[in-house]
Amino acid sequence: MRIGTAKTSYLADEALFDTAVQRRWMVALLAALVLFPLFAGPYWLYLGCLVAINVASATGLNILTGFTGLVSLGQAAFMGVGAYTVAWLEINLGTPFLLNLIIGGCSASLIGMVVGAPSLRVKGLYLAIATIAASVILHFLFANWTAVTGGASGLTMPPATFFGTPLDQPGKLYWVIMPITVLMVLGAANLFRTRVGRAFIAVRDRDISAEVLGIPLLRTKLTSFALSSFYAGVAGGMWAYFFRVITPESFPLVMSIFFLAAIIVGGMGTILGGILGATFMTMVPEALKLIVGGLSPWLPDAVALLSPVRTIVFGALIVGFLIFEPRGLAEAWRRLRRFFHLWPFKT
Amino acid sequence: MAIDVDPSRLLPELPLPSGPPALAVDGLMLFFGGLRVLNGVSFEAREGSVTSIIGPNGAGKTSLFNTVSGFYKPAAGAIRFRGASIDALRAPARAQLGLARTFQNISLFHGMTVLDNIKLGRHAHMKSGVLDALWYRGRARREEMELRREIEEKIIDFLEIDHIRKAPVSALSYGLRKRVELARALAMRPKVLLLDEPVAGMNREETEDMARFILDVKEEWGVTVLMVEHDMGMVMDISDHVVVLNFGQVIASGKPREVAANPEVIAAYLGSGNVEDLRARVRQGAQAKRGAV
């Protein structure tokens, strides 16, 4: 049970984690993230990196769609811009990987602002279509600007190096990808306790009265686009270092839908939602794969029989969430927390 | 028949401060297609006064507010804010100058807490950018803490909403929402405050609270208040100056008691008071219709 949250300063009242219990859990989570590579095998490390990359990108999309209310289906294409930039820099200039990631993020951010420019006039589904159009154009560039992108065969890049050590295994890259993702998520959480984040939410909730409060709509929307695609660009850059082969098919439109689904399942407009949603969407197919694999001693044909079922179960889970928990996993988590705040008394 | 005003309830008539008016509207014209919404509206709101705009439904009061705050572009006319023309400025720029407003049908952000809604009022006066915000420590935190302290000490305390500061706006009653909206407008550091029906739909007690807050805002904060309101009791009680609008035209303006006694105002507001007149009008209308068939 939670008894009293007495605070003596406004700073303590506005802290990201405002109770001691919460802070302890966060330390435990960080410790788990640090210890994870010491115990996990390569397969789990691979998954860990993939989840981290997806969390970074989903958080970016959540800033744009969940918090600012601008539906975008261009997230994968923005990731592509980041990935191609990073790969090009790594192959042609060999600059340090952190710098490459930042430049990748910035280039995606610039493209994002251009794509976001119509958002002052078009909203909702119309904006979604406009972003699809933008991502089609970007894919065309990926496939046909052979001098830079390598055309249909794509780019194959060397691994990132850290003081001469090649980061070519998920186990090593984990130490790059996970901290960057943690920083990006913390940054996003910080954003929403300051004026910038509040302006995003204001634009989402009622853009007319936002204007009366002195919030310029176009600038706010473009900032949101820029930030969201910066996140996508950095995530795409990490993706590039992780897989090291980038082709025009690496970032299909379906991937944008994947991220949109992730934030819907996780909970739009909450930082936790982006994390939970991306983790859920990445892990559930793997978990189902494991379950099917685990059944094979009893059912020799399990893999062949149940593989199609897996996809159906995955789809059904998403639909189930939309129906029974429309505000996402984050809301379910919040309810669980409230239960323990009051436990052992009944809510 | 006259609007019932007890002279003892009226405020003592203080001499109004001289100098340029806080807000001056001159010959404002606004059209919605062929409809003439504002037809040469002119009035002044003296610095440090409460000016009320009254008039029947559809008289153009809210349109006037929307024009002043920069949503509608008038076809003709000028708006001067503390002596300077603001005709060329868009809504956010006018807000930044110190022109704050509340809305008739409350426009708070429902997904946010009361505190965040109030903080939004200060948006235009704050400086931290995206990078400050992502990092939080340093400038963003300093600014947020200053803001929080000021809001807590000056606004939340003043408007007596400390018990709901963390509540989501969607969970509040109508009267409290109106109060939170006033709080948000005050966070904008207003010089002129436009209140669109601040007590509409409130009960007696809530209305009296709101009237007290408006008077305090005027006295303690030195804010000029411009208010659209239908509650005649409150308008007559707290206004220094009343402007009456009908069909987009100013039909009278002056001290509350002068306006209340103006026969044209009474006719516009309440009808002529003669039942025979009304009967004659209805009969005429009916005959016209029959004639048309």
Each residue's pLDDT tens digit, A329-338: 999 999 998 8
DSSP codes joined into one string, B126-179 = ----HHHHHH-TTHHHHHHHHHHHHIIIIIITTTT-GGGTTSBGGGS-HHHHHH
Contacts with A, B 124-153, CB within 8 Å: 124-126, 128-130, 132-136, 140-141, 143-145, 148-149, 152
CA-to-CA dists, residue A233 to A284, A298, B6, B205, angstroms: 25, 45, 70, 56
Which chain A residue lies closest to B135 (C-alpha atoms)? A187
For B60-85, what is the mean pLDDT? 92
Number of Cα atoms under 13 Å in the Cβ half of residue A292: 19
The encoded tokens of residue A48 equal 């860990």
- Residue B289: the pLDDT is 67
Question: Which of A188, A196, A209 lies nearest to residue B107, judging by beta carbons?
Answer: A209
Helix, strand, coil shares, percent, chain A, to 5: 75, 5, 20
- Which residues are CB-neighbours of B18 under 8 A, at least 6 positions away? none
Does the structure show a pLDDT above 70 at B16?
no
A176-232 pLDDT, tens digit per residue, is 999 999 999 999 999 999 999 999 999 998 877 888 888 999 999 999 999 999 999
Write down the pLDDT at residue A278.
Answer: 96
pLDDT for the residue B284: 75
pLDDT at A240 over 60: yes
Average pLDDT value for chain B:
87
Beta bridge partners of B244: B54, B252
Q: Which of A10, A197, A214 sits opposite B133 (nearest CB)?
A: A197
Q: Sort residue A81 into left (φ over 0), alpha (ψ -120 to 50) or beta.
A: alpha
User: Do the Cβ atoms of B148 and A191 come within 8 Å?
Assistant: no
Question: pLDDT of B154-209, one tens digit each?
Answer: 999 999 999 999 999 999 998 899 999 999 999 999 999 999 999 988 889 999 99
Residue pair A56/A74 in contact by the 8 Å Cβ criterion: no
Residues B200, A219: Cα–Cα separation, whole Å: 35
Give the A window 199-238 contacts with B, CB below 8 Å.
Answer: 199, 201-202, 204-206, 208-216, 223, 226-227
pLDDT digits (tens, 9 = 90+) for A270-293: 999 999 999 999 998 888 888 887
Confidence of residue A242 (pLDDT cuts 50, 70, 90): very high
Instruction: Please give, rounded to a whole number of angstroms, the shortest distance from the CA of B155 to a CA of chain A.
Output: 15
B112 CB within 8 Å of a chain A CB: yes
Q: Find the CB nearest B126 among A195, A209, A216.
A: A195
Chain B CA closest to residue A216: B92
Quick: pLDDT tens for B17-27.
Answer: 566 789 999 99
In angstroms, rounded to a whole number, what is the distance separating the alpha carbons of residues B239 and B198?
13
Structure token pair of residue A231: 């996140």
Residue B33 has pLDDT above 60, yes or no: yes
User: Mean pLDDT across the stretch B102-121?
Assistant: 90
Q: Decide if B122 and A195 are in contact by the 8 Å CB cutoff.
A: yes
User: What distance, in Å, lies between the first and last C-alpha atoms of chain A?
Assistant: 11
List of domains in chain B = 7-292 (3.40.50.300)
pLDDT value of residue B262: 86
Partner residue opposite B148 with nearest CB, options A14, A199, A204: A14
Strand (E) or helix (H) holding A13: helix A10-13
Residue A310 has a pLDDT of 77
SS3 content of chain B, % helix, strand, coil (to 5): 45, 20, 35
| A72 backbone φψ class: left, alpha, beta (φ>0; ψ -120 to 50) | beta
Residue B96 at interface with chain A, using a CB cutoff of 8 Å: yes
Per residue in B212-242, pLDDT (tens digit) is: 999 999 999 999 999 999 888 899 999 999 9
B101 vs A201: CB contact, 8 Å cut-off?
A: no
Task: Render A195-264 in DSSP notation, one character per residue.
Answer: HHHHHHHHHHH-HHHHHHTT--HHHHHHHHHHHHHHHHHHHHHHHHHHH-EE-GGGS-HHHHHHHHHHHH
Of B50 and A120, which is predicted with more confidence?
Answer: B50
Indicate the residue of A190, A201, A205 with minimum beta-carbon distance to B135: A190
- Look at residue A214 in the predicted model and tell me its pLDDT: 87
Among A154, A134, A185, smallest CA distance to A29 is for: A185
Q: What pairing do the DSSP bridges indicate for beta strands A160-162 and A165-167?
A: antiparallel
Question: Mean pLDDT over residues B47-73, rounded?
Answer: 91
Q: Tell me the CA distances in angstroms from B74 to A48, B64, B69, B77, B80, one per residue in order.
A: 59, 9, 11, 7, 13
Cα–Cα distance between A81 and A83 in angstroms, integer?
A: 6
CA distance to partner chain A, nearest, from residue B135 (Å): 6
What is residue A173's predicted lDDT score, i.e. its pLDDT? 94
Residue bearing the bigger pLDDT, A341 or A75: A75
Average per-residue pLDDT in chain A?
91
CA torsion angle A240 A243 A245 A248 (round to 10): -70
d(CA B193, CA B22): 10
Measured between alpha carbons, how far apart are the two ends of chain B, in Å? 38
Q: Which residue, among B71, B102, B115, B130, would best test binding to A if mutated, counting the most A CBs under 10 Å from its CB? A: B130
Reported ipTM? 0.85
Chain B residues touching A226 at Cβ < 8 A = 130
Chain B hits for A229, CB-CB cut-off 8 Å, are: none
The verdict on A158 touching B (C-beta cutoff 8 Å) is: no
Say how far apart CA A159 and CA B219 lie, in whole Å: 69
Higher pLDDT pick, A299 / A35? A35
pLDDT band at B5 (very low <50, low <70, confident <90, very high): low
| Chain A closest-CA separation from residue B136 CA (Å) | 6
Per-residue pLDDT at B1: 43
pLDDT band at B15 (very low <50, low <70, confident <90, very high): low
Residues A51 and A139: their CA atoms lie apart, in Å, by 24
Q: A44-48, B133-137, B270-274 — which is least confidently predicted?
A: B270-274
A263 Cβ partners below 8 Å, 6+ apart? A58, A61, A62, A65, A66, A273, A274, A277, A328
Does A18 lie at the interface with B, CB-CB under 8 angstroms? Answer: no
The phi and psi torsions of B51 (rounded to 5 degrees) equal: -110, 125
Contacts of B109 in chain A (CB under 8 A): 201-202, 205-206, 209
The amino acid present at A178, given as its one-letter code, is M
State the pLDDT at residue B51. Answer: 95
pLDDT for position B291: 65
